[in-house]
Amino acid sequence: MDDKYRIKKVGDGWEFLPKEERDRKRKYENLTIKIRRREKKIERIKVQLKKEKEELREWKGEMRKGYNEMVKYHKTLTPTFSTSISKNPKHKQKDTLTGDYKTKGNRSWTITVRVIGKRKPIYLGTMEKVGEMIDLIEGKSEFWSKKRVDTNYKHEVQTIKKIEDLVYPLIKRDLIKCLESEGGLEPFMNSTVKGMDYLNELYLNSEFYEEPKVIEKKESKGFFLGYLPNGKPIYGKKKSKKEKGNEEGK
């Protein structure tokens, strides 16, 4: 603020002014002091603002550099997943008269993992088997394993969603384990991974898991040797050629 706005004392002192004038002058002087203080504060803020703008430019440069590195990292090391179903028909020849015919093909589910520039298909199983396993995991009866899935597109999409929710997290878990233990994902991508093992694990840990029933093997009666005079069949152990030869020698 220019000094021209400062009011100097009148005569030997402005204390000789009337009270009303003194109050007005005091108020005015206080205002000029506040203005000076605010101007100095603004100057300090300008200096600080200039410094912060310079820091901001440096940060933005680092951010752009970091972004490019992160995009490169994301594209090369972050895995992506997709689920597909094989519907390729197969040609089979029945006989020379009827000629060949097309089958429905091996309608099966496969998960494809893409990472570090590689593609790894993980075979889950046939539509029927995968649907049966999802039924077991969820405690349902013949919902996902119904044969109508062959022609029902909506059911097919729902099955894909189930596979994504159930199996993808387990594959990601194994990828992380491989990364932590091996320092990279190449060992996983180069290994043999059985998709059905994931479904078996899910069923084993589900609340609907049931111990497999043990079927007792019936004791074999032996080989059929002939009939008794009363018509009853005879079973027993077959004699070896050596045993037969010994009997004939006697």
Residue 209 CA to residue 200 CA, distance in Å, equals 10
Q: How far apart are the first and last CA of the chain?
A: 141
47 and 140 fall within a common domain? no
Res 228 pLDDT > 70? yes
133 and 183 assigned to the same domain: yes
Q: Which of 183, 204, 225 is the last residue of a domain?
A: 204
**Residue 97 domain flag:** no
* 66 plus 123 within the same structural domain: no
> Mean of the pLDDT values across residues 10-17?
56
- On whether both 129 and 47 belong to a single domain, the answer is no
Structural domain contains residue 220: no
Each as own residue / partner, the long-range contacts of residues 144-151 (CB below 8 Å, 24 or more positions apart, any chain) are 150/104, 150/107
User: Could you tell me if 61 and 135 lie in one domain?
Assistant: no
Same domain, yes or no, for 84 and 50? Answer: no
Same domain assignment for residues 65 and 177: no
**Domains identified in the chain, total number:** 2
- The DSSP bridge partners found for residue 132 are none
Indicate the DSSP class of residue 135: H
Q: Is residue 131 part of a domain?
A: yes
- The Cα 16–Cα 57 span in angstroms is 59
- The residue that leads in pLDDT, 59 or 116, is 59
Q: Which residue has the higher pLDDT, 99 or 86?
A: 86
Identify the residue with better confidence: 92 or 224.
224
Same domain, 83 and 169: yes
Residue holding tokens 């089958």?
103
Q: What one-letter code names the amino acid at 110?
A: T
pLDDT bin (cut points 50, 70, 90) of residue 10 is very low
Q: Please check the confidence at residue 6 and state whether its pLDDT lies above 50.
A: yes
Is residue 85 domain-shared with residue 59, that is, in the same domain?
A: no
Inter-residue contact 75 to 114 (CB < 8 Å): no
**Within a domain: 158:** yes
Whether 139 is covered by a domain: the verdict is yes
CA atoms of 100 and 91, how far apart (whole Å)? 6
Is 246 part of a structural domain of the chain?
A: no
Question: pTM to 2 decimals?
Answer: 0.56
Asked if residue 160 belongs to a domain, the reply is yes
pLDDT, residue 238, reads 63
Q: How far is CA 244 from CA 18, 96, 226, 238, 240, in A?
A: 151, 48, 17, 10, 6
pLDDT tens readout for residues 194-214: 999 999 999 999 999 988 877
In terms of domains, do 83 and 190 share one? Answer: yes
| Residue 229 in tokens | 């005079």
Mean pLDDT of 210-234: 72
Is residue 94 over pLDDT 60? no
d(CA 202, CA 72) in angstroms, rounded, equals: 34
Strand blocks (E) in the chain: 80-85, 90-95, 99-103, 108-115, 118-126, 223-227, 233-236
d(CA 101, CA 89): 10
137-174 per-position pLDDT tens digit: 999 877 776 655 555 778 888 889 999 999 999 999 99
In a domain, 99, yes or no: no
Q: What is the predicted pLDDT for the residue at 140?
A: 84
What domain range is 200 assigned to?
79-89+104-204
Do 21 and 129 fall within a single domain? Answer: no
Interacting residues of 193 by C-beta distance below 8 A, sequence separation 6+: 120, 122, 171, 174
Tokens 């387990």 found at: 170
- How far is residue 104's CA from residue 88's CA, in Å, rounded to a whole number? 7
Same domain, 48 and 124: no
